[in-house]
Structure 1
Amino acid sequence: MSETTIPNVSPPTLYIEGPAFWAPELPGWDIACAAFRDEGGLTDPPAKRPSPQILAPAERRRAPDTVALALEVASAAVTASGRNAKDLPCVFASAHGDLGINDYMCGTLATDPSVLSPIKFHNSVHNAAVGYWTIGTGCMASSNSLSAFETSFAAGLLEAATQCAADQQAILLVGYDVPAVGPLKSVITSAGLMAAAFVVSPVRTERTVASLDWALEPGPSQTPALHSSAANKVHTDSIADALPVFEELARASGTPLRLPLAPTMSLRLLIHPLA
């Protein structure tokens, strides 16, 4: 019996729409894009946190930083893509969820569990941000809340790309994380607010900004170097593996990126800007 040969098929080219970015030093994609090209600098003083207009004023005040960050870039990405959030599946990626609330929960449970805040408990779950998003937009499409420690953005991008290619449907990718506080700072390096998002589409549209070729690549992995002074100065958090992707979207160098997924596996990306 002859052996069956399995063809080596490359994943299909996908397309990026509506890049969105927020960090205190770079509060918005236009500012970040210019800074990543070394055509602008960091804002001074830094912004405190975004104020997503998708939430009602009272909800904006109560929402934790993770929700504010995620909804700010998600809204910006969907608006720039020209799509309807109600119909758009989404992947939200965060290494740890809300570390401030986790610290509060652990401390309160250890000292006086009876005073635990129901609102903070409600916001402590990892899918809180995507829950606020789907409720606020009325989205009934599929949603994922994904965590993969400090490779969470790469894992989220792989998940979004796989879903997009398999279902032939555009999908929103959102990555976000916040600083560690309390005893968690001794084991988690996250030191700042940062969020990034874009829409991945199976076809090119009038809103497409870049094509995306992607593949899994075995072998030792290493985080790509950052080239702009702005990206290197951002107070990084656990979603910082998004920085080389957004820097490449801005700089359009044509250099392949290899985002670590594991010690011996990377997500290889080649981003081509499209006019």
Structure 2
Amino acid sequence: MSDNILRCSIKAVGGWGQNYTNWQELSELLTTGATAENTASSPKPEIIPANERRRAPLPVKLAVESSWQATQSAGLDPKDLACVFVSGLGDTQLTDYMCKVLATENMQLSPTKFHNSVHNAAAGYWTISTGCMKAANSVAGFNESVSLAILEAVTQCVQEQAPVQITFYDAPSSEILKPLLKNDQSFSASLIIEPVLESNQTDSNLLEMQVVSQATEWPELDLETHLDTSYKQNPSARILAVLNMLTKDSADTVLLPLSAETSLQLTLHNPKLVN
């Protein structure tokens, strides 16, 4: 076995997006294409205090909702989990707002909106709401965001021998930016990964990761229409390439683009739909 292979296991999943409000509904979409009734434009994560929740922007709500679902499903206290948050687009609505205001004569930004515009806003809301004092990283890599976040989180999980939460989230792009960032759908998903013994090959959802010197494109997936649109337009929805492996009956391998000349090779052994 190559020395550069890192191993962890996927313990739990959470999610929220178009036509699903949790991992159970998302897994149904992946396996049968059945959609759930979800007419809400935004989740309402109860872990954020009501006053703060009203001021929280959509990307923050997406991230916190799926994070809370995953930690509860895993039966872990979020304050004990290091976390990696990743958004490929950031908050384009607030970026648009700030550019417009700064182009006026008064240039007076809303302090709340400016506060929410930073890329680690979701990590901030999450750690404050849960009392988490562990490491909280915020990653951005546009279309390679998912690969970079997985590389960061799995490396940290193995190095520290401790579970890690990974949250992927992106909201629809602002209208003025859609010619450049064509994304019409909200998507969020969170994974809880945990370390495994080097010799243990029997864990459910045993994930092996290695960086390979090979260029690749994002894999083609056979998805329900809305999920397919998200997968192709929403940078964070590229995690569906991994979540889809959880629905298989046997080991599966995917290559995810990491850079112009490298890829992330992920193999999932003993797949089992997590709670």
Q: TM-score, normalised by structure 2?
A: 0.90
* Letter aligned with residue 224 of structure 2: S
| RMSD (CA atoms) | 2.1
**Is residue 227 of structure 1 aligned with residue 222 of structure 2?**
yes
**Match in the other structure for 1:4:** none
- Aligned equivalents of 1:98 and 1:253: distance in 2? 38
Q: Deviations over 1:157-193 (max 9, x none)?
A: 1100001111111111011011111322121122211
- Specify every segment of 5 or more residues in structure 2 that has no aligned partner in the other structure, as ranges: 198-202
Matches within 5 A, 1:245-264: 245-264=242-261
Matches within 5 A, 1:180-259: 180-203=173-196, 210-229=205-224, 231-234=227-230, 236-259=233-256
Residues 183, 230 of structure 2: 8 Å contact kept:
no
Residues 172, 185 of structure 2: 8 Å contact kept:
yes
Q: Percent identity?
A: 35
**Match in the other structure for 1:178:** 171
- Aligned equivalents of 1:133 and 1:74: distance in 2? 8
**1:108: Cα distance to partner?**
0.9
- Specify every segment of 5 or more residues in structure 1 that has no aligned partner in the other structure, as ranges: 1-6
- Aligned equivalents of 1:197 and 1:252: distance in 2? 22
Bigger Cα displacement from structure 2, 159-168 vs 176-185:
176-185
- Aligned equivalents of 2:128 and 2:38: distance in 1? 33
Residues 7, 154 of structure 2: 8 Å contact kept:
no
**Match in the other structure for 2:65:** 72
**Is residue 34 of structure 1 aligned with residue 35 of structure 2?**
no
Matches within 5 A, 1:38-53: 38=32, 40-44=33-37, 46-53=39-46
> For residues 145 and 252 of structure 1, do their structure 2 counterparts lie closer, same or farther at Cα, with a shift above 3 Å needed?
farther
**1:209: Cα distance to partner?**
5.0
Residues 91, 145 of structure 1: 8 Å contact kept:
yes
* Letter aligned with residue 27 of structure 1: T
**Match in the other structure for 1:56:** 49
- Aligned equivalents of 2:65 and 2:220: distance in 1? 27
Residues 17, 187 of structure 2: 8 Å contact kept:
yes
User: Helix, strand or coil for the counterpart of 2:12?
Assistant: strand
* Letter aligned with residue 191 of structure 1: D
**1:233: Cα distance to partner?**
4.7
Q: Deviations over 1:16-66 (max 9, x none)?
A: 11111211222211011011011x522345431111010112222211001
Q: Deviations over 1:199-245 (max 9, x none)?
A: 111038xxx75110111111121101112325325474121211111
* Letter aligned with residue 36 of structure 1: L
Residues 20, 37 of structure 2: 8 Å contact kept:
no
Q: TM-score, normalised by structure 1?
A: 0.90
- Aligned equivalents of 1:115 and 1:244: distance in 2? 43
**1:111: Cα distance to partner?**
1.7
Residues 247, 272 of structure 2: 8 Å contact kept:
no
**Is residue 20 of structure 1 aligned with residue 14 of structure 2?**
yes
- Aligned equivalents of 1:66 and 1:83: distance in 2? 23
**1:107: Cα distance to partner?**
0.8
**1:274: Cα distance to partner?**
4.5
User: Helix, strand or coil for the counterpart of 1:259?
Assistant: strand
- Aligned equivalents of 1:82 and 1:166: distance in 2? 22
- Aligned equivalents of 1:139 and 1:224: distance in 2? 35
* Letter aligned with residue 79 of structure 1: Q
| Count of aligned residue pairs for this structure pair | 266
Residues 13, 214 of structure 1: 8 Å contact kept:
yes
* Letter aligned with residue 22 of structure 2: G
**Is residue 88 of structure 1 aligned with residue 84 of structure 2?**
no
Residues 27, 47 of structure 1: 8 Å contact kept:
no
Residues 216, 263 of structure 2: 8 Å contact kept:
yes
